[in-house]
Structure 1
Amino acid sequence: MVSSRRETTTGGPTGRRLTAENRERQIVEGAIAYFAEVGLDGHTRELARRLGIAQPLLFRYFPTKAALIERIYQEVYLRRWDAGWEAVVRDGALPCLERFRRFEIDYQRRIDDYAWLRIFVSAGLKGFDLPSRYLGMVRERIFAPLLEGMRAESNLPSPREQPLAPDEFELLFGIHGALVYVGLRSRVYGIDGTPDRDAVRAAMLDAALPGLLATHRRVVIAGGPKG
């Protein structure tokens, strides 16, 4: 975004001169911490003050607040996306419920993070499209292949014969959201639960998954062609 020259402007509490790359990294990391704390309606003027730089310097790197938030989306969300999750949910050597379990256990561990959860909630409340974009990836890259596999395992029509229905996605999002809430209680609401959140999520999956295929089957049949 900015050339690699060394800045002539000093900034930060130490007054050290930073390369452009290091200054940009300072801004991004500071913005993630700041917006995680106060929400995405926080002001860039206050962010600059906390960073110890002038607001015009911040705008040299990110001309608008929207551009800065887009970079946060890339850093906090897209960089943590693991292509291995997409491979797991398409692994035909595993039963579908085991694919779902493996995805969720690793995914939830990855996102159980102060900045990830708090910025995500704030973005939804303040009308930013970050959550809808991200959940769209979960829907299309993770849940759609899982549902297709679940249909095949249950000898139900393929999505080409009968398109995937919103109610099918809601079954998976319902379980998924309950698992996310384990982290939200601590990171967002400040309610302490068990320190072993992996074990809690594993137990929740043990409770939820046994009836999932049968429930999914009923949903698909109910949504099939009428007449």
Structure 2
Amino acid sequence: MRTKPDPSAPAQIKTSDALPAPARRRLSGKERERTIVEEAVKFFAEVGFDGDTRELARRLNVTQPLLFKYFPNKASLVERVYQEVYVGRWNSYWEEIIADRRIPLQERLTRLYCDYAKTALTWDWVRLFMFSGLRGEAINQRYLSFLRSRILEPVAIEMRAELGLPGPDVVPLDLQEIELVWGINARVFYYGQRRWIFNVPLESSVEELVQLTIEHFIAGARAVVPRIIQAHAGAKPSPPG
């Protein structure tokens, strides 16, 4: 005896009538490359530059040969990470504010380093920089050389101008003057180390700490820079203005 279908029962959907799974969008070459770079930044910041590209490919859900289609070797990928994080995030405003003598130097430096900290004290920036130094990658040397020419030497020159001292065309910059400015960067970067390396929270805001750092630098430079120039030039410099 045939059983009549129950009209109240839900209709059975035939397999042939089921909706197909949505097609996975195929990434363009540029999109794929961008995805690889973004994941590589996170990957190396997490595990360091000894991280295996096989693991990176697994995280990207691609094959290693596909990874090497865009970056022929690990060194080229590390280079791209450097360009992405350190060159790509450089802000020309930092160089412009240093040279703007309409603003007192202490205020200029406070603005500069408060803005710089927003970029340089991030998780990936700090950790990549530390891993690079530990592994002997060239990222540190290249970036620090770039930083010296774009920030440190200009700040040293502006410090002389602030004090009414001879410019570098009269008395060349002394290494000790540049070391003084290095002290600002070292101290600011340490705030990032405390957070992202040592996991020790800051007890004041970064802005407050930067302001204190710059005040400390200016006060010390007023006492020390004239003496450095005097020793370097072999003659007494003009008195501070």
For Structure 1 versus Structure 2, the TM-score category normalised by the shorter chain is 0.7 to 0.9
Find the aligned partners of 2:166 and 2:211 in 1 and give their Cα distance: 30
The superposition leaves residues 61-102 of structure 1 with CA deviations (integer Å, 9 ceiling, x where unpaired) of 000111111111111111211111111111121222322222
The superposition leaves residues 177-214 of structure 1 with CA deviations (integer Å, 9 ceiling, x where unpaired) of 11110111111222223373222332333344323222
Q: 1:92 to 1:208 in 2, by over 3 A?
A: closer
The superposition leaves residues 157-190 of structure 1 with CA deviations (integer Å, 9 ceiling, x where unpaired) of 2212221111111101112211110111111222
Match among 158, 168, 174 for residue 159 of structure 1: 168
Query: What one-letter code is carried by the residue in structure 2 that aligns with 1:217?
Result: P
Alignment check: 8 A CA contact 1:109 1:198 kept: no
Find the aligned partners of 2:166 and 2:33 in 1 and give their Cα distance: 51
2:17 aligned residue:
none
| TM-score (normalised: structure 1) | 0.86
2:59 aligned residue:
50
2:139 aligned residue:
130
| TM-score (normalised: structure 2) | 0.82
Alignment check: 8 A CA contact 1:86 1:142 kept: yes
Alignment check: 8 A CA contact 1:147 1:168 kept: yes
1:1-227 superposed matches below 5 A: 17-194=26-203, 196-225=205-234
Residue range with higher mean Cα deviation, 163-172 or 152-161: 152-161
Alignment check: 8 A CA contact 1:143 1:172 kept: yes
- SS of corresponding position for 1:86: helix
CA RMSD across the alignment: 1.9
- SS of corresponding position for 2:233: coil
Find the aligned partners of 2:217 and 2:149 in 1 and give their Cα distance: 22
Structure 1, unpaired ranges of 5+:
1-13
Residue range with higher mean Cα deviation, 41-50 or 28-37: 41-50
Counting matched residue pairs gives: 213
Alignment check: 8 A CA contact 2:155 2:181 kept: no
Structure 2, unpaired ranges of 5+:
1-22, 236-241
Alignment check: 8 A CA contact 1:96 1:150 kept: yes
Identity %: 41
Find the aligned partners of 2:113 and 2:206 in 1 and give their Cα distance: 12
Alignment check: 8 A CA contact 1:182 1:201 kept: no
Residue range with higher mean Cα deviation, 186-195 or 51-60: 186-195
Q: 1:202 to 1:150 in 2, by over 3 A?
A: closer
Q: Using CA pairs under 8 Å that are at least 6 residues apart, name the structure with larger relative contact order, 1 or 2.
A: 2
